[in-house]
Amino acid sequence: MIEIINAKLGLNKVFLKAQMTLEELKEKAPHKKELIKSQEDSLNEIAEAQLILHRLDTKCLSISGDLYRSNKLLIELQTEINHL
């Protein structure tokens, strides 16, 4: 789980740096249309990766909860079997 958090933080850091670079490009070199477009495309790709990583993180948490409940039930059933 810690790896997912670190990955999300790293991706957020990259997104913010790219966003700051884009803002600086627009301010200081508005004539570099192709470079600005490329940076915007990169930001969109990073945002998509962030969304996918968030969905995977949410799914992982859900599966982890399901696994915990299943294991708890399994232990309860094994205990019941042992008593029988």
Q: How far is residue 11's CA from residue 42's CA, in Å, rounded to a whole number?
A: 12
Does position 1 have pLDDT exceeding 80, yes or no? Answer: no
Q: What is the pLDDT of residue 4?
A: 87
Does position 71 have pLDDT exceeding 90, yes or no? Answer: yes
DSSP for residue 1: -
Tell the burial category of 84 from Cβ atoms under 10 Å away from its Cβ (0-12, 13-18, 19+): exposed
Q: What is the pLDDT of residue 74?
A: 97
Q: What is the pLDDT of residue 2?
A: 85
Rounded to two decimals, the pTM is 0.77
Residue-wise pLDDT tens digits, 28-64: 999 999 999 999 999 999 999 999 999 999 998 999 9
